[in-house]
Structure 1
Amino acid sequence: MFSGRKTADQLRDEIRNADAAVGEAMSALAIDDVAAARQALSSAPRTHFVDMGWKVGLAGAMIELRAGKMKPGLQKLIAVCSRLDDTDLSRDDKNYLRLYALYRGSEASKDGRAPVELRELVEDFRFDHTLVTPLLRKDFPLKALDEAEPAPPPPPPPPPVPSDAD
């Protein structure tokens, strides 16, 4: 009999493929390649919001913001953040993502303030940064990652000290 539901293996494959597509898109955004990010995200299979759709939606919002489409990007951020409670993410992961959206919304706004709807979602919460899934921190970093500056060369060794035995 055909039940119309996907098998668990198919669902896992779709989730894995969507996660990989989001990772590629966010990597492309990190080097300011919006076209490559769009291309990578377009290869993501459609998944339910609670499975991986939230991550695809968040990456889509970031692409819109980086492309200069502020209003649609901010609306997508608000939509994703308002539905994060539907997912099975941990409380710390949800709050981390809301803070991430708030930071990106603030950067995108003209006056440096995120929209009220986004600010209301993140008011009065705390989270433990160490409990946030490392994959979330990799794909959605709170701070812009600067290229690592090379370390200064080590200081020269001290000159030899003359001995009194001469």
Structure 2
Amino acid sequence: MFSGRKSADKLREQIEAADQAVAAAMAAIADDDVARARKELSAAPKTHFADMGWKVDLATAMIELKSGRHRQGIQKLINVCSRLDDTSMGRDDKNYLRLYALYRASEASKGGKAPTEMRVLVEDFRFDHTMVTPLLRKDFPLKKMDDADIAPPPPPPPVPVTEH
């Protein structure tokens, strides 16, 4: 009777630990520190693909790409994207991740064009950017943003109009 609750608690803890490890690894990748990213991701416990394994695999693919192993990284991206339907994520989240993978595969390919297998997975879909989970956008941003680009300067105050 109680073992079911303990198993659920253990699974929840594993998912949280994996999520934190991925967040730390992606932050290290953003800082161009591949060694730290590998170390952070190694702390992630093994989880089922549908629970959090997809996120760990996606971070692993990003580490591969960042370390110069483009072929392995792109293949890992294709594998993750082809299995996203096994997860319980919403349609917008899945499509956002597929688009993210397409962008990264395009950046990593020699000709600037993602492999056909990747493009087929991403073709003809739409998603509402506002419906995508904010944590996905934080860990896996579609484009890099500099600190200066985040907050544009405020507009100048209006010039007072004087009547003569």
Normalized against structure 1, the TM-score is what?
A: 0.87
For residue 124 of structure 1, what is the aligned residue in structure 2?
124
Partner amino acid for 1:90?
G
How far apart, CA to CA, are the structure 2 residues paired with 1:14 and 1:154? 47
Match of 1:46, SS state, is coil
Residue 153 of structure 1, CA deviation = 10
Matching residue of 1:26: 26
User: 2:65 — aligned with what?
Assistant: 65
Alignment of 1:101-112 (within 5 A): 101-112=101-112
How far did residue 92 of structure 1 move? 0.2
Where does structure 2 lack aligned partners over 5 or more consecutive residues? 160-164
Alpha-carbon distance in 1 for matches of 2:22, 2:155: 40
In 1, the alpha carbon distance for the partners of 2:133 and 2:146 equals 22
- Cα offset, 1:145, TM superposition: 1.6
Establish whether residue 90 from structure 1 lines up as the match of residue 87 from structure 2: no
**What residue is the counterpart of 1:80 in the other structure?**
80
Question: 1:152 and 1:91, CA in 2 relative to 1: closer, same or farther beyond 3 A?
Answer: closer
Q: Structure 1, unaligned stretches of length 5 or more?
A: 159-166
- Pairwise CA distance, 1:146: 1.5
Aligned positions of 1:34-73 closer than 5 A? 34-73=34-73
Across the aligned residues of Structure 1 and Structure 2, the Cα RMSD in angstroms comes to: 2.2
CA distance in 2: counterparts of 1:100 and 1:107, whole angstroms: 11
Q: Please give the TM-score of this superposition, normalised by the length of structure 2.
A: 0.88
In structure 2, give the amino acid aligned to 1:113. Answer: K
Amino acid at match of 2:28: A
2:162 corresponds in structure 1 to: none
The answer to whether the aligner puts 1:99 opposite 2:112 as a matched pair is: no
- Report SS of the residue matched to 2:60: helix
- Paired with 1:15 and 1:91, the residues of 2 have a C-alpha distance of 21
CA distance in structure 1 between the partners assigned to 2:54 and 2:34 by the alignment: 20
Q: 1:138 to 1:152 in 2, by over 3 A?
A: closer
CA 1:151/1:35 → structure 2, altered by over 3 Å: closer, same or farther? same
Aligned partners of 1:153 and 1:59: how far apart in 2?
A: 36
1:148 to partner: Cα distance: 1.7
Deviation per CA, 1:11-39, whole angstroms, max 9, x where unpaired?
00000000000000000000100000000
Kindly provide the amino acid, as one letter, of the partner of residue 89 in structure 1.
Answer: M
Cα distance in 2, alignment partners of residues 66 and 119 from structure 1: 21
Residue 151 of structure 1 and its aligned partner are, at CA, apart by 6.6
Judged with a 3 Å threshold, the aligned counterparts in structure 2 of structure 1 residues 153 and 45 are, in CA distance, closer, same or farther, namely closer
Give the % identical residues: 71
- How far apart, CA to CA, are the structure 2 residues paired with 1:131 and 1:145? 20
Q: Which amino acid aligns with 1:107?
A: E
